[in-house]
A and B are shown apart, each in its own frame.
Chain A
Amino acid sequence: MNDWAVRVDDVSKRFRLYHERNQTLKSAILRGKTSRHEDFWALENITFDVNQGNTHALIGSNGSGKSTLLKCLAKIYWPTKGTIDYRGRMASLLEVGSGFHLELSGRENIYLNGSILGMSKKEIDSKFDEIVDFSGVERFLDQPVKNYSSGMYVRLGFSIAIHVDPDILVVDEVLSVGDEEFQRKSFQKFLEFKKRGKTIILVTHTMQVVEDICDTATWINKGQLQSTGKAKDVVAQYKKSID
């Protein structure tokens, strides 16, 4: 089992909890020192591999550090210590429609958002119809997105993101967007993704999802790695701990 797609190696993440945050020049000058803070380790020495083609779940209770880990995986936060390596192109989906410009049309936003998510213009051109089709907003494509209903907004955002087609997809709990029909469609897309041998890392609170679609899982509690391995085993351990 050497074909890892993502390797998390001894990752720790420190946050500074500021008692007096000097974010104004006045306070910096008056107090003469920059700030007073306390270190808080949100993650400590986390190590695990995710193999190619696996769907991997990050589980844990609220405040366990799994979202921090997800953000590290998405390259939004940088680990204080340790490294994360990828084999293949990584794309993250933490929020849909971030970076939409409200005054611009759906069409323009597909190009804008697509490029923010790392797609080239050529790629977007070739997938444009698919994206529009999947989102189901073709009638409103030339309207500014500020006139979209929240459902349409989210569907368009999700549709763009799911068409980025990375080798490794890092997802927060965004699979629960849109109405029931759209959710079914996106779940289908997700499975298709999996079938094509792509690696997926996701955060979820629904153990049913983990047991149904995930191959492996990592359980984190208070920033410490509790266990990692086969999804069923990890879920069983996790369930035992909260009972």
Chain B
Amino acid sequence: MSYLREIWNSRELLHNLTNREVRGKYRRTALGQLWSLANPVAAILIYTFIFSFIFRLPAQVGDPSGIDNYALWLVCGLLPWLFFNRVLTLGVDSLVANAGLIQKVYFPRIVLPLSLTNATFFTWLLEMGVLVVALSFLGSFVLPWLPLLAAFMVLFALFSVGLAMVLSIINVYFRDLSYLLTIVLQFWFYLTPILYPVELVANQSTSLGGLAGTPITLLDLYQLNPVEGFIEIFRNLLYDNRAPEAVTVWVALAWTVVAAVAGIWMYAQKEKELAELL
């Protein structure tokens, strides 16, 4: 509890460090913050071309929104993933990269991954803003769902930062982790229904039946992935314009609590030793 109070007390520092990340990042670039939109746009063009035009994935019609647009459907899942990806890849190095600071000044170390997540969240917010405008123009009545969307964005951010905090501490001991992570994230990306609908996995799963004589199906294993639920929630709200299923929400909530508690617990345990370990 006293640790939580300490985090609360350093909120100004958190704010300033977040500013450092946001403002320092695109300094001296002509397009500035617009660059953060460049990556998603490039990804959307590539994936839409490949999966919608070449591979001809089945049409994704929003229920009940009725929109049918692969690019938009893709972005609703891709933007949360890109956020998750950035928080993890930047977060895993957040302690090692700031070793100089940690060894010279005392402050709650947890503000390092937190500020980074805040800055990344800010970028994500911009991207989602653009997406909401695009969705509204193309027939999705997304406005009533915005409060829920905001709540789930915060939830997903907590989940991501919790995981990033755990990874950042492990990375102090095993510096390989940041390299390993990029590979793991590649697998993770393709094992999450971002480019393709989860129904395709469900079809395969039913045709296979229970795996190795057990009642466990491929889909069960597939849905162990916590990000899968989050992506589903974001698509429900943005693309389909309906409330997500209660089970999905509860599972997402549980994962968030587990990740956040694990992250904070790790910092509370290890924070004092970090200066020596780095």
Which residues does A use to contact B, with CB under 8 Å? 15, 22-26, 28, 71, 74-78, 92, 94-95, 98-99, 101, 103-104, 108, 111-112, 115-118, 120-121, 144
Query: Is the beta-carbon distance between B16 and A117 smaller than 8 angstroms?
Result: no
Q: Which residues of A contact B180 (CB under 8 A)?
A: 25
Chain A residue at smallest Cβ distance from B17? A112
With A99-B105, A112-B17, A112-B20 known, 6 other A-B pairs at CB within 8 A are A24-B175, A75-B106, A77-B276, A99-B104, A103-B27, A116-B17
Chain A residue at smallest Cβ distance from B170? A25
> Is B13 in the interface zone, CB < 8 Å from A?
yes
Q: Which of B13, B177, B272 contacts A116 (CB 8 A)?
A: B13
Shortest Cβ gap from B232 to chain A (Å)? 33
**Contact A71 B275, CB 8 Å, known A25-B180, A95-B104:** yes
Q: Which residues of A contact B23 (CB under 8 A)?
A: 104, 108
> Is B53 in the interface zone, CB < 8 Å from A?
no
Query: Is the beta-carbon distance between A98 and B106 smaller than 8 angstroms?
Result: no
Q: Which of A99, A104, A111, A115 contacts B101 (CB 8 A)?
A: A99
Query: Is the beta-carbon distance between B105 and A94 smaller than 8 angstroms?
Result: yes
Q: Which of A23, A75, A144 contacts B174 (CB 8 A)?
A: A23
Query: Is the beta-carbon distance between B173 and A23 smaller than 8 angstroms?
Result: yes
Query: Is the beta-carbon distance between A104 and B27 smaller than 8 angstroms?
Result: yes
Shortest Cβ gap from A91 to chain B (Å)? 9
Summed over the interface, the residue pairs from A and B with CB atoms below 8 Å come to a total of 72
Q: Which residues of B contact A74 (CB under 8 A)?
A: 106
Chain B residue at smallest Cβ distance from A111? B16
Cα separation A118 to B104 with both chains bound (whole Å)? 13
Chain A residue at smallest Cβ distance from B271? A78
Of residues 92 through 107 on chain B, the ones whose CB sits less than 8 Å from some CB of chain A are: 100-107
Query: Is the beta-carbon distance between B176 and A26 smaller than 8 angstroms?
Result: yes
Mark contacts of B169-184 with chain A using CB atoms, 8 A cut-off: 1 yes-contact digit, 0 otherwise. 0000111110010000
Query: Is the beta-carbon distance between B27 and A118 smaller than 8 angstroms?
Result: no
Query: Is the beta-carbon distance between A108 and B275 smaller than 8 angstroms?
Result: no
Q: Which of B17, B24, B106, B177 contacts A92 (CB 8 A)?
A: B106
B interface residue count range (under 10 / 10 to 19 / 20 to 34 / 35 or more): 20 to 34
Mark contacts of B102-118 with chain A using CB atoms, 8 A cut-off: 1 yes-contact digit, 0 otherwise. 11111100000000000
Shortest Cβ gap from B23 to chain A (Å)? 6
If over half of A's interface residues share one DSSP class (helix, strand or loop), that class is named, otherwise mixed; here it is loop
> Is B199 in the interface zone, CB < 8 Å from A?
no
Cα separation A95 to B180 with both chains bound (whole Å)? 34
Cα separation A20 to B25 with both chains bound (whole Å)? 38
Q: Which residues of A contact B28 (CB under 8 A)?
A: 103
**Contact A25 B275, CB 8 Å, known A75-B106, A103-B28, A120-B12:** no
Of residues 176 through 207 on chain B, the ones whose CB sits less than 8 Å from some CB of chain A are: 176-177, 180
Query: Is the beta-carbon distance between A104 and B24 smaller than 8 angstroms?
Result: yes
Cα separation A25 to B178 with both chains bound (whole Å)? 11
Q: Which residues of B contact A101 (CB under 8 A)?
A: 20, 24
> Is B19 in the interface zone, CB < 8 Å from A?
yes
Q: Which of B100, B105, B174 contacts A25 (CB 8 A)?
A: B174
Shortest Cβ gap from B82 to chain A (Å)? 24
Q: Which residues of B contact A121 (CB under 8 A)?
A: 12
Cα separation A77 to B273 with both chains bound (whole Å)? 7
Cα separation A28 to B174 with both chains bound (whole Å)? 9
Chain B residue at smallest Cβ distance from A76? B275
Query: Is the beta-carbon distance between B16 and A112 smaller than 8 angstroms?
Result: yes
Q: Which residues of A contact B276 (CB under 8 A)?
A: 15, 77
Q: Which residues of B contact A120 (CB under 8 A)?
A: 12
Cα separation A95 to B28 with both chains bound (whole Å)? 28
What 7 A-B pairs are tightest by C-beta distance, nearest first? A78-B272, A75-B106, A103-B27, A98-B104, A115-B13, A115-B16, A95-B104
Could you say which of A24, A76, A111 has the most chain B C-beta atoms within 10 Å of its C-beta?
Answer: A76
Of residues 127 through 182 on chain B, the ones whose CB sits less than 8 Å from some CB of chain A are: 173-177, 180
Cα separation A9 to B227 with both chains bound (whole Å)? 49
